[in-house]
Amino acid sequence: MNDNHTCNQSKYSPYLTFTRSEWGALRQSTPLTLTEEEIANLQGINEYLSLDEVAEIYLPLSRLLNLYVDATQKLYKATHTFLNDQSAKVPYIIGIAGSVAVGKSTTARILQALLARWPNHPKVDLVTTDGFLYPNQILEQRGLMKRKGFPESYDIKRLLQFMADVKSGVAEIEAPVYSHLAYDILADEKQIIRQPDILIVEGINVLQPPKSEQARSTPQLFVSDFFDFSIYVDADEQQIMKWYVERFKLLRNTAFQNPDSFFHRYANLSDEEATQTALSIWREINLVNLQKNILPTRNRAHLIMRKGENHFVEQVKLRKL
């Protein structure tokens, strides 16, 4: 481990830096034996997920998060005792940020499965901020169809209200649902959040300050103000671009084949055409968003997980404060 802390103020870093093996050693007494059912569930999340990766990277992370959740739950109990208040339970909220295609939703689903194994927080829910994108109709009106994922493409006021409701212990909260197949918000579908022990909120924008005029009219509040812990999933741009293109080609052979898919027109592209199409969407939209809006939020995270080839985590940085 590298403390990155010297007497020289300019070299001060708020992070402790761990190599892969240093991090892996921190799993310590975390129960390592996953049941067959759990292994099957994890592989259902992502067929390319390596179980060694789960043991070496995600189990230590779930151990750390369990300790934090436990400490926070005790703190809430102390406040309730002091106030003689039996009010509703408050979920522990974890934010997961990073570029399009870096693996946020996979990370979120692995953590959801692992965190739910601990007895003090069995109910772990997951929402993605994709649901808070404006519907295509509004994006079209505002000329934002090529800016999907940029700060102005989200109904940030609604997202902030959602976060406030979760943190206030509201019994049932509705979250809007986005479909990658339809490439749009599903007007008739809602996800209901019912007081989980932990809520994971995953999305490219979760560490960003509000930018829309709408949100500026109310006191400046960040989505991350509601987080107890936040994770930034990081990798080199070239690497993420490769994953974006690979996923696009995979979708061409699967989801895009569905006539209802927004991208059905890409279903019959040759390999070379698919690569070129994916590269141009990457360069025109997602790379610009990464450089302009996502990467600048990296150092706001409590933990930065840096991935290399094959999605293997090479380095973990954990905030000391």
Ligand X SMILES: Nc1ncnc2c1ncn2[C@@H]1O[C@H](COP(=O)(O)OP(=O)(O)OP(=O)(O)O)[C@@H](O)[C@H]1O
Q: Summarize the annotated binding site as residue ranges.
A: 98-105
Cβ-based nearer residue to ligand X, 102 or 163: 102
Measured from the CB of residue 281, what is the shortest distance to ligand PAU in angstroms?
Answer: 5
Measured from the CB of residue 4, what is the shortest distance to ligand X in angstroms?
Answer: 26
Long-range contacts of 282-285 (CB under 8 A, 24+ apart): 282/241, 282/244, 282/245, 284/146, 285/146, 285/147, 285/148, 285/149
Question: What is the three-class DSSP state of 300?
Answer: helix
Measured from the CB of residue 55, what is the shortest distance to ligand X in angstroms?
Answer: 13
- The verdict on 175 binding ligand PAU (CB under 6 A) reads no
Which of 21-29, 221-229, 265-273, 279-287 is the region at the interface with ligand PAU (rule: CB under 6 A)?
A: 279-287
- The verdict on 204 binding ligand PAU (CB under 6 A) reads yes
Binding track, positions 43-72, relative to ligand X; x by CB under 6 A: ---x-xx-----------------------
CA torsion angle for 51, 112, 251, 284 (degrees, to 10)?
-110
285 binds, among ligand PAU, ligand X, none (CB under 5 to 8 A by kind): ligand PAU
129 binds, among ligand X, ligand PAU, none (CB under 5 to 8 A by kind): none
Task: Identify residues 102-141 at the interface with ligand X (CB under 6 A).
Answer: 102-106
Measured from the CB of residue 83, what is the shortest distance to ligand X in angstroms?
Answer: 39
155 and 134 in contact (C-beta within 8 Å)?
A: yes
Residue 46 structure tokens: 């992502």
C-alpha 162/C-alpha 167 separation (Å) is: 9
117 and 198 in contact (C-beta within 8 Å)?
A: no
**Binding site as annotated, residues for ATP:** 98-105
Report the candidate in 45, 21, 48 with the shortest Cα–Cα distance to residue 310: 48
According to DSSP, the β-strands at 313-319 and 15-19 are antiparallel
> What Cα–Cα distance (Å) separates residue 135 from each residue in 155, 163, 179, 284?
10, 20, 11, 21
C-alpha 138/C-alpha 132 separation (Å) is: 12
Count of positions on this chain that bind ligand PAU (CB under 6 A): 8
Residues that bind ligand X (CB under 6 A): 46, 48-49, 98, 100-106, 204, 243, 247, 311
Chain residues binding ligand PAU by CB under 6 A are: 100, 130, 148-149, 204, 281, 285-286
